[in-house]
Structure 1
Amino acid sequence: MPSLDLLATFLEIYRAGSLSAAAQRLGVTQPAVTGQLARLEEQIGERLFVRSRQGVAPTPRAAALATRVSLHLDGLRDVLGSTETEPALRGTVRIGGAAEAMTVRVLPALAPLTARGLYLHVTLGLAQDLLAELAEGRLDLVVSAVRPTHPAVLAVPLVDEEFLLVGAPATAHTVDADRLRTAPADALAALPLVAYAEDLPIVRRYWRSEFGQRPANPVALVVPDLRAVLAAIEAGAGVSVLPHYLVEPALAAGSVVQLHTPEVAPLNTLYLATRRGAPANPATTVVRDRLIEAAAQWGGL
């Protein structure tokens, strides 16, 4: 059975998104964190994180383990007494964002603030809808995949998303490798698309950026959740373009493969938006600062 120290180190890595950030939070060296992770993976008998230049991405087993142990470890910290001297927080912060980034990155970064008394009210949805609610005062913060243009909204860049064109291994085997190098859009044209929306927003941007044209592919499935898009791809429904942070565990597991490797990875900036001229709210400021700090550790999505 893994020790509490190993599980606590694992949880810090999971929440921080990198070994160096976890080491800084724990006040130990990075080699010490690496060694503890290696011992835990040896005891469990399975890899828990996939390393990349952006940091580490959890495998499905790691996500399941974090769900099981986080509440218990956090509860033990409360019982034993925390050495932190952070002040209590009062009030509600209303934050909005896309379901996928909020689930995988934003909410894990903000969850510790609830132990200080903060109440978070989360709205999931499309960026333009959420920004409209922010401008009208119904939200305090929005993590937006589009650059806000409303005069009442002030935004700062938070982190860049990297996008990959992926499909199931069986689908990839149907693509002619030589043709993919010389005429990629033609080589991929027969593959059905799995899309986030009817107008193919993410796929269309990738095709225009990398191939200089709109996709001519048939559309097999449309579902407004990128996690569902990934599940459909793994099941063989077609191909799609997904953010790196979301698809990396599936790549590591071999359930999907990258179909096309551009010279420069397509990026999209996520913005952290607030309402211009809104009354100062200490809790909102703490949430905003925590997200900016966490995003610096993510290194990219």
Structure 2
Amino acid sequence: MMLGGQGQRLIISHPFPITCYTVKSSHSLHHFSLKVPGRPKLVHLPLASSRSDQTHQYKPQTKTQDDGIPIDDVKVIAKFKTRHNYIRVLQVSRSADHPFAGSRLLLLDSPGNIHSISFLFKSLTNTYFDVFATLPPILPPGPVGILGFGAGSAARLMLELYPELRIHGWELDPSVVEVGREYFGLEKLEKQYPDRLYIYIGNALKASIRNGFAGILVDLFCKGSLIPELQDPTTWQKLRKSLRKGGRIMVNVGGSCVEAEDERRNGKMVMEETLKAMHRVFGDKLFVLNLGNGKDDDSSLALTGELAVSDLDAWKKKLPRSLKGYVDMWAAYQDS
């Protein structure tokens, strides 16, 4: 597999997407937006123009995820197209004044949605992958399936947190898995957990395992949008049948923060259609966790199964302190 662009600096000639907002450029600032389809906090990375181009009119404030990263602190280390994706791997400098400092990011599709993130010295990502990692404690014994494996961000965190957990991941594009192995430590992870991590190349919606899954994580996007099959109740009926008794499904359903290549696939509209399809199958056993800060950056996850108030404390006790807060963010789905 050929990986182009390794070691090249990011050159700005036009706005290039980097977060949940599409931000317009100005004469003194080039904005990029790395779309993160689902994340606990707004991950807003407008990239400031090169330091040599900055003027006194622009005073960068890069203390939070809402602020930008100077272009000089971001490097493209891989960029190429495959049958299924436009793949880019970005490296954020450890010296960047930003929460994503030292991270490596996997971007797929033309809008540039983030599909994997890793840090050299910490496991938590402060993105929706951390919410995914809260699922195992409320599952029956058995393996977890990840539909839309990416470079393995969710798998890495769960394997570290839950020593008995086995994960089976499906990814349609073999090049994404190869990028994970080369740039995101996936090869090392496979060697470290040979009996706990299994990766398959193929259609995730055909995933199956003997005796069923204890839980399923669904993170299926194509061309910057949730795949159309997820707006079909039949898909959720099939996925429910692939669960063991008491099993659950957690889904990244995106939202208005997700930018699709097809303008007709509005992120919020597709999210709502997906939740309605799930509601037809799971009824009142459907919960939503909203990660956005407003109507323009709405982003959510969905969870199936019983979730009584009395269960929340028990769930929290099984989680590390850094993840406990997500438990209280779930609310029963209300069909509008």
TM-score by length of 2: 0.27
TM-score by length of 1: 0.29
| Higher relative helix content | 1
Structure with greater Cα Rg: 1
